[in-house]
């Protein structure tokens, strides 16, 4: 396993559509292992092949960051030739990206999805996700079609601005539950301080 360089916004590779994986080769498996290491080192929850310069349709995701038990929290999904087969509802999500460092964006995503893909063992898998987990899978899936979240975001701000507003919202609510809508609304109303 090795850390890979992460492709940054502005590189044309991130705007191209990826080609399907025909055979799960040792090189694909090695790339997936490297992607896990690279994602974890960068504190990400997902990474797609084009983000490390590979124009194939696969990504990995580790979306259960808030899970109580370690096994669920550390679960990694290997998604080769994924296809979103069902969506339901909508949600506005605050998103960042390893390929768009230093920024957060407000993106409308499906609230619930069903996604199927081949795993590293060549077996077809199907999953249902909602909320944050659905956002992670949609975000990574978009990379395979040459779409960055910043291309479709309703609004953008720096990570520093986002962190400051998050703290203000927590203070206003006097708890740790900061609502996503409150953060973006506060930005447009101006700081409460």
Q: Is 12 a known active-site residue?
A: no
Would you say how long the chain is, in residues?
A: 193
SS3 91: strand
Structure tokens at 143: 């990379």
SS3 40: helix
In the numeric block, which tokens belong to residue 47?
Answer: 């990474």
**Smallest Cα–Cα separation from 80: which of 26, 45, 51, 121?**
121
Contacts 24+ apart (CB under 8 A), 21-27: 21/56, 21/57, 21/58, 21/80, 21/81, 21/118, 24/80, 24/118, 24/120, 24/122
Partners of 108 in the beta sheet? 92
* Candidate list 88, 140, 174, 181, residue with the active-site label: 140
Indicate which residues carry an active-site annotation. Answer: 140
């Amino acid at each position: 396993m090795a850390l890979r360089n992460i492709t940054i916004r502005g590189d044309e590779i991130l705007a191209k559509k990826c080609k399907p994986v025909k055979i799960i080769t040792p090189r694909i498996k090695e790339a997936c292992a490297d992607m896990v290491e690279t994602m974890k080192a960068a504190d990400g929850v997902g990474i797609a092949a084009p983000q490390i310069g590979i124009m194939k349709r696969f990504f990995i995701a580790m979306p259960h960051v808030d899970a109580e038990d370690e096994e669920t929290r550390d679960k990694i999904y290997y998604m080769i030739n994924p296809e979103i087969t069902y969506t339901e509802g909508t949600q506005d999500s605050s998103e960042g990206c390893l390929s768009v460092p230093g920024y957060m964006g407000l993106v409308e995503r499906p609230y619930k999805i069903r996604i199927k893909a081949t795993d590293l063992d060549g077996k077809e898998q199907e999953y249902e996700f909602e909320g944050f987990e659905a956002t992670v899978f949609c975000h990574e899936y978009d990379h395979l079609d040459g779409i960055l979240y910043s291309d479709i975001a309703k609004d953008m701000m720096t990570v520093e601005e986002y962190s400051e507003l998050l703290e203000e919202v927590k203070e206003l609510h006097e708890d740790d539950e900061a609502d996503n809508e409150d953060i973006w609304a506060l930005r447009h109303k101006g700081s409460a301080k």
